Structure 1
Amino acid sequence: MWFRNLRFYRFSDEFALPDDFENKLGEHLFRPCGRQEQSTFGWFSPFGADHETLTHVLNDCHLLCARREEKVLPAAVINAELEEKVRQIQEAEGRPVNRKEKQNLKEDLIHQLLPQAFSRYRLSWGYIDLKRQLVIINESAANKAEDFLGLLRSTLGSLPVQPVSPAEAAELTMTDWLKRNDLPAAFDFGDEAELRSPQQDGGILRCKNEDLTRDDIQAHIEAGKQVTRLGLVWQENIEFILETDFALKRVKATDILMDAQDDLVDPSPEEKLDADFMLVSAQIGELYDDLVRAFTSDAN
């Protein structure tokens, strides 16, 4: 399961993909950086560089992959070059170099160094679940997920989505679960949690590889700390950390799920991707449904 982090975005209006979706993706295809570009971001085939297909469809789920190239210019290198430039000006002209001039010198240096910079490449995965009217993105950081959504929005012209969030603050619900030692059906406690005091100068308790129902952890809840990250196991199949913004981190298939998956004999890359996406989309979809039910039932 290569979706290690999950961020859910729900369409605010009934959404359907255009018939020419593949062509629209092709208009925003990934391309390498030009000599003076610091980064580029575009669609990339889920099957790899040797394929032209830009989406893979399975059971009303459309898998997408985007690729980013970033030119790597270490700050230490730029600052060292800048200091040398400033020193030369001060010695040659006998005057200080002000902040605005330093900024202009820095921009010139970046312009000069970009063609020699190394490139760093990164793939970003997501998929559109038309049945559930969701976009699900494999990113731990919200800003990276927004980059993916931005590319999709540019591709489609509009993208009426908003982050999925429960009606009641997630930390209140998660705290109540741990306080009562009672989880909704389909879930079990994992072995990790973070508890924070609501006060700005309050303490933070992080637990790892621990029994979360221990008396001393309960004492922190009684003292007013709230659960801001909670390790959960869903259907004995998937382990994850649930955060207050409804993001799932460190998503991992359990041995039970992997043992139950049919093994392909010498699969091609296409067959492997198809099998993996079938597993991911089915499991994540059902996990999402149960999570929404869990928060909805606790709010009622």
Structure 2
Amino acid sequence: MWFKQLTPFVLLEKPEARHLEESLGGSWFVPPQGLDRFSEGFSNPVPFDFDRAVYETEGRLKFCLKREEKILPSGTVNTLLTDKVLKIERNEGRTIGRRERGELRWQIIDDLLPRALTNTSRIYGIFAGRYLLVDTASRNRSENLLVKLREALGGLEARLPHTKQSPGSLMTEWLLLGECGGGFELDCDVALRGVGNVAPKVRVSLKNLTDEDVVRHAQNGMTVTELGLVWRDRIAFVLTDELTFKRIRWLDTVLEESEGADDAQSKAYAEQIIMCSMLEIMLAELLEQLGGLTE
């Protein structure tokens, strides 16, 4: 699978494949039981190998954190609560106070939970070179994955990349210059934020970013928070000021490299190797443009 979003972590150590397999297997996903609202655990990262927690390609280790959450529509809970309150008030001739109303609400939720439908989500990570690549741009989701990894492994030295120049500063420079450094090029989307208690925000889409009316926002002191970029005609994405990547598009020059695969297993193997290789090289080049990592 091709990642469509990305949060990279820098690794100070990388777990061995066997240790990772054993550790994640010991924290295997179990569906939420009884009154549990949700459950999280590790699961098979590929659809053709259901008993393995790790999928390895040339030293790159892919894994999956699965979450199943029970769905309790608020409208349903509120309707049942209203009916119950009216019934009590009518039968007992008294008014239900706020505290008792809250207790009744939790009773209804506890009654519904064992029978509730569930929503399932998965988040994938890959240990690749010096990075842990996580397929989300959400800081909360990526850090939750890291917490679960550390719990399973008994610790993991990994951190978000802190660079000598901030991503927002570099992206603003590139917008003002009308060109980027390294193998990066401006695409057609940008978001900027001003300063002050109520900071103004501007978002531009599908437009030439060298146009005067776009650049003027940065000239007037606004800072770029998101910038559409293309890297070496291979990957297009939106870079954020938190050094996360949104709306990743793998261009034809990359996708064509995996087209020769004969079956699902061969395709997954090829895609993981190609994707990780491209991301590792691109990240190294971007970090260099940002002045490297701070100590």
Instruction: Normalising by structure 1, report the TM-score.
Output: 0.91
Secondary structure of the 2:4 match is: coil
Whether the 8 Å CA contact 2:179–2:186 is kept in 1: the answer is no
Cα distance between partner residues in 1 of 2:188 and 2:136: 23
Cα root mean square deviation, aligned = 2.1
Q: Structure 1 residues 48 and 258 mapped into 2: Cα distance closer, same or farther (>3 Å)?
A: closer
Answer yes or no: is the 8 Å Cα contact 1:165–1:245 preserved in 2.
no
Q: Which residue of 2 aligns with 1:224?
A: 221
Structure 2: how far apart are the matches of 1:276 and 1:282?
Answer: 10
Q: Are residues 44 and 18 of structure 1, via their aligned partners in 2, closer, same or farther at CA, if it must alter by over 3 Å? A: closer
Whether 1:156 and 2:153 are equivalent positions in the alignment is yes
Give the C-alpha shift of residue 50 in structure 1. 5.6
Whether 1:235 aligns to 2:232 is yes
Q: 1:124, 1:205 → 2: CA distance?
A: 31
Structure 1 residues 97, 163: CA separation in 2 closer, same or farther (over 3 Å shift)?
farther
1:220-276 C-alpha deviation (Å, 9 max, x unpaired): 1121111110000011100000001100001110122223x1423531x22221111
| Deviation of 1:47 (Å) | 2.2
User: 2: CA distance between counterparts of 1:33 and 1:230?
Assistant: 40
Counterpart in the other structure of 2:27: 28
Residue of 245, 260, 268 corresponding to 1:264: 260
Task: Between 192-201 and 92-101, report the one with greater CA deviation.
Answer: 92-101
Query: Whole-Å Cα distance in 1 between the matches of residues 49 and 86 of structure 2?
Result: 50
Following superposition, the deviation at residue 160 of structure 1 comes to: 2.5
Overall identity of the aligned pairs, in %: 26
Q: Distance in 1 between matches of 2:164 and 2:9?
A: 15
Structure 2 gaps of 5+ residues are none
* Alignment TM-score, normalising by the size of structure 2: 0.92
**How far apart in 2 are the matches of 1:47 and 1:276?**
12
Question: Counterparts of 2:260 and 2:97 in 1: how far apart (Å)?
Answer: 65
Q: Is the 8 A contact 2:166 2:290 kept in 1?
A: no
Residue in 1 that maps onto 2:268: 273
One-letter code of the match for 1:195? L
1:108 maps to 2:107 = yes
Q: Distance in 1 between matches of 2:274 and 2:98?
A: 55
The alpha-carbon deviation at position 203 of structure 1 amounts to 2.3
Which consecutive unaligned segments of at least 5 residues does structure 1 have?
none
Count of residues in Structure 1 that have an aligned counterpart in Structure 2: 294
Write the mapping of 1:118-133 to structure 2, written as runs, cut at 5 A: 118-129=117-128, 131-132=129-130
Deviation at 1:14, TM superposition (A): 3.6
Q: CA deviation at 1:167?
A: 2.6
Report the AA paired with residue 29 of structure 1. Answer: W
Instruction: Give the superposition deviation at 1:177.
Output: 1.1
Summarize the alignment of residues 53-202 of structure 1 with structure 2, pairs less than 5 Å apart: 53-129=52-128, 131-132=129-130, 134-202=131-199
Query: For the residues of structure 1 that align with 2:182 and 2:17, how far apart are their CA atoms?
Result: 38
